[in-house]
Amino acid sequence: MNQSSSFWEHLDALRGVILRVLAGVVLVSIVAFCFKDELFSILLAPKESDFWTYRMLDRLSALFSSEPMMADFSVRLINTQLAQQFLTHMQISFYTGFVVVFPYMLYELFCFVSPALYHREKFYVKRVVIGGYVMFMLGVLLCYYMVFPFTFRFLATYQVSEQVENQIVLDSYIDTFVMLSLMMGVLFELPVLSWLFAKLGLITSEFLARYRKHALVGILVVTAFITPTSDVFTLLIVSMPIYLLYEVSILIIRK
- pLDDT one digit per residue (tens) for the chain, 255 residues: 555 556 677 688 888 889 999 999 999 999 999 999 999 999 999 988 888 888 887 777 777 766 655 667 778 899 989 999 999 999 999 999 998 898 888 788 877 777 766 777 677 777 778 888 888 899 999 889 988 888 888 888 888 888 888 889 999 899 889 888 888 888 888 888 888 788 777 888 888 889 888 888 988 888 777 765 556 666 777 788 888 989 988 888 876
Output phi, psi for 82, to 5 deg.
-60, -50
The secondary element (H helix, E strand) that includes residue 225 is helix 212-226
Q: What is the pLDDT of residue 5?
A: 57
- Parallel/antiparallel/unpaired status of strands 77-78 and 168-169: parallel
- Asked if 248 and 171 touch (Cβ cutoff 8 Å), the reply is no
DSSP 74: B
CA distances from 199 to 22, 174, 186, 205, 242 (A): 32, 38, 20, 11, 22
Secondary structure of residue 168 in the 3-state scheme: strand
Strands (E), the chain: 77-78, 168-169
Task: Give bridge partners of residue 77 from the DSSP assignment.
Answer: 168
Q: Quote the pLDDT of residue 93.
A: 95
**CA–CA separation, 246 and 250 (whole Å):** 7
If we measure between CA atoms, which residue out of 197, 190, 195, 192 comes closest to residue 219?
Answer: 190
| Element at 226 (helix H, strand E) | helix 212-226
